[in-house]
Structure 1
Amino acid sequence: MVGSGDVVMIQSAPGTDFWRVTHDGTVHDTGHFYYQQQTGDFQADVKISGDYRALYDQAGLMVRLDEANWIKCGIEFVDGLQHASAVVTRDYSDWSIVRLHNSPASFWLRVQRQGPTIEISYGFDGRNYQLLRQAYLTTVPTLDVGLMCAAPQGSGFSSKFEYLRIQSL
């Protein structure tokens, strides 16, 4: 990870991922996660871009209690296209995606916590956001929150995070 001012560059190692049990029974907890602890309600915003090339290349934000209770969200590269993606894990991972038309050069992500609820939204200009997912995570007050990326099937890729802001609400 390399950071300068409001920019952080991360090179994902090959064979990295976050996933638990669903679909094929495997557990992967090897992705990159750079975080801070956050107590109570918060909002996290970041601008993301990446050199997505291989199936499931992903970059975004993660909110994590432990290895079995977490949410990752952001961009995921599926079938040669960028998708807004959210994985909610409470012992088992689920996955939801929305295709992003025209593979945008960058993507804004917002994650808000209010009590046990996490709300994930995305946009393209840092001002207007569209809801992607709302999910229950936990009532535990302190969680790890930060940047996430992984390259499950490819040789790794570079991702760029700009203007990361995590603030209490």
Structure 2
Amino acid sequence: MPENQWDGFQWMNEPRQWSVEEKGLRLLTDRQTDFWRITHYDFVKNDGHFYYRELQGSFTCQLRFSGNYQDLYDQAGLMLRLDDTTWIKAGIEYVSSTAKASAVVTRDFSDWSIRELREVPIDFWVRAKRARDHVEISFSVDSENFEMLRLAYFPPSASLQVGIMAASPKGEGFETIFAPLDIKEG
């Protein structure tokens, strides 16, 4: 995979270990990192890893990734971010020793939706469709059959930061490989 597939991307909270390889962007999450705001846990965490670029207007983006999830709440996937208090993360979160399709929508306060998966998938796909005032999140374990996980209000804005996300809220870190983000604007 040519490195230019990641041109225009930049890090928010760059991990200590990451590289661009033939299979994609590989990273090892730093320990005890997360994105969360207040709800239930009464804390704010904004130190997860986010590799993004700016997108304007309506778009559809799709991401394929795989992870070696180990510890409670290990997570990876797609993130859309307006600012520190308004963002969505969607992908896999490791809970009760199994992977769950997960979406967290944050507008000052985080909320969390999960869907059971039969097993930890080797590859996982997450898709986000951004329109004027909402985002539709869908997922797939085979790249063909997508299920809607969440339709959420998301404030209209001129642009958003969009990219890959990974964090290890409770653990020492885990490895994830992300294929290039497929983006269709308009």
Q: Normalising by the residue count of structure 2, what TM-score does the alignment of the two structures yield?
A: 0.88
Residue 44 of structure 1 and its aligned partner are, at CA, apart by 0.9
| Kept in 1: contact 2:23–2:177 (CA 8 A) | no
Q: CA RMSD, aligned part only?
A: 1.0
Asked whether 1:117 is paired with 2:131, we answer no
Alignment correspondent of 1:52? 69
Q: Quick one: distance in 2 between partners of 1:6 and 1:164? A: 13
Residue in structure 1 matching 2:102, options 85, 90, 98 = 85
Residue 163 of structure 1 and its aligned partner are, at CA, apart by 3.9
CA displacement, residues 95-147 of structure 1 (integer Å, 9 cap, x when unaligned): 01011102211111111101111000001222221100000111112000000
Q: Quick one: distance in 1 between partners of 2:19 and 2:135? A: 28
Alignment correspondent of 1:29? 46
Q: Residue 179 of structure 2 aligns to a residue in which SS?
A: strand
Q: Quick one: distance in 1 between partners of 2:51 and 2:76? A: 12
CA displacement, residues 77-111 of structure 1 (integer Å, 9 cap, x when unaligned): 00000000000000000001011102211111111
Q: Which amino acid aligns with 2:183?
A: I
Structure 1 residues not aligned, in runs of 5+: none
Residue 6 of structure 1 and its aligned partner are, at CA, apart by 5.8
Q: Identify the structure with bigger relative contact order (alpha carbons < 8 Å, sequence gap 6+).
A: 1
Which stretch shifts more, 156-165 or 55-64? 156-165
Structure 2 residues not aligned, in runs of 5+: 1-17
Q: Quick one: distance in 1 between partners of 2:26 and 2:67? A: 9
Residue 5 of structure 1 and its aligned partner are, at CA, apart by 4.9
Q: Which amino acid aligns with 2:126?
A: L
Identity of aligned residues (%): 45
Q: Which amino acid aligns with 2:44?
A: V
Q: Residue 105 of structure 2 aligns to a residue in which SS?
A: strand
Q: Which amino acid aligns with 1:102?
A: E
Q: Quick one: distance in 1 between partners of 2:143 and 2:130? A: 18
Change (3 A) 1:88 1:134: same
CA displacement, residues 3-50 of structure 1 (integer Å, 9 cap, x when unaligned): 135611111000100000101210000000000000000111111110
| Kept in 2: contact 1:34–1:148 (CA 8 A) | yes
| Kept in 2: contact 1:6–1:163 (CA 8 A) | no
Matches within 5 A, 1:2-151: 2-5=19-22, 7-151=24-168
Q: Normalising by the residue count of structure 1, what TM-score does the alignment of the two structures yield?
A: 0.97
Q: Which amino acid aligns with 1:90?
A: R
